[in-house]
C-alpha cells in the first residue's frame, strides 16, 4: 500500500505537523510492504530544516523525519514553498529532497490513501 501524507503547518506552534510525522513513523514501522511519502508544503517545509535544537524533553521534528527516512519513507518538500521561506537545498536535513507540484500530483495519483494535516 502507498500512503501519502501532506503536511501544511509549521513544525512547532501547532501539533498538526508533529502528529502527521508521528503517524508516518508508525506507518513505516507497522507494515513492511507499506510505502510512505511525506510531502511538506507551506510552513511545514521548516520541519526539514537541518540543525534544529529543541529543549530537552521536547520533540524534534527533524529527528522524527530522519526516522521516517530510516524506515524507508520519503520526505519531499515543495520547492516553491522553500524559496518563499529562503530555504535552500543546503538547509534541509539529510534524506529530505526538494520537490515540485508535478511530483506531488504523481504521488497523489499513485497513492492508495492521501492524508492531509
**16-51 pLDDT per residue, tens:** 999 999 999 999 998 889 999 999 999 999 999 999
Q: Where are the domains of the chain?
A: 2-116
Output the nine-digit C-alpha cell for 92.
534541509
Instruction: Find, among 20, 105, 98, 109, the residue nearest to 65 by Cα.
Output: 20
Could you tell me which residues come within 8 angstroms of residue 4 by beta carbon, excluding any fewer than 6 positions away? 37, 39, 107, 108, 110, 111, 113, 114, 115
Pair 40, 5: CB distance under 8 Å: no
Q: What CATH number labels 2-116? A: 3.40.1260.10
Whether the predicted pLDDT of 63 surpasses 90: yes
Instruction: Find, among 114, 115, 62, 116, the residue nearest to 87 by Cα.
Output: 62
pTM of the shown model: 0.95
pLDDT in tens, 64-89: 999 999 999 999 999 999 999 999 99
pLDDT in tens, 102-116: 999 999 999 999 999
Amino acid at each position: 500500500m502507498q500512503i501519502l501524507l501532506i503536511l501544511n503547518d509549521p513544525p512547532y506552534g501547532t501539533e498538526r505537523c508533529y502528529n502527521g510525522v508521528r503517524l508516518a513513523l508508525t506507518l513505516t514501522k507497522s507494515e513492511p510492504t507499506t510505502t510512505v511519502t511525506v510531502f511538506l508544503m507551506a510552513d511545514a517545509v521548516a520541519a526539514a530544516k537541518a540543525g534544529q535544537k529543541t529543549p530537552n524533553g521536547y520533540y524534534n521534528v527533524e529527528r522524527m523525519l530522519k526516522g521516517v527516512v530510516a524506515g524507508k519513507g520519503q520526505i519531499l518538500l515543495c520547492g516553491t514553498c522553500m524559496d518563499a521561506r529562503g530555504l535552500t537545498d543546503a538547509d534541509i536535513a539529510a534524506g529530505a529532497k526538494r520537490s515540485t507540484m508535478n511530483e506531488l500530483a504523481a504521488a497523489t495519483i499513485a497513492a492508495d490513501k492521501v492524508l492531509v494535516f
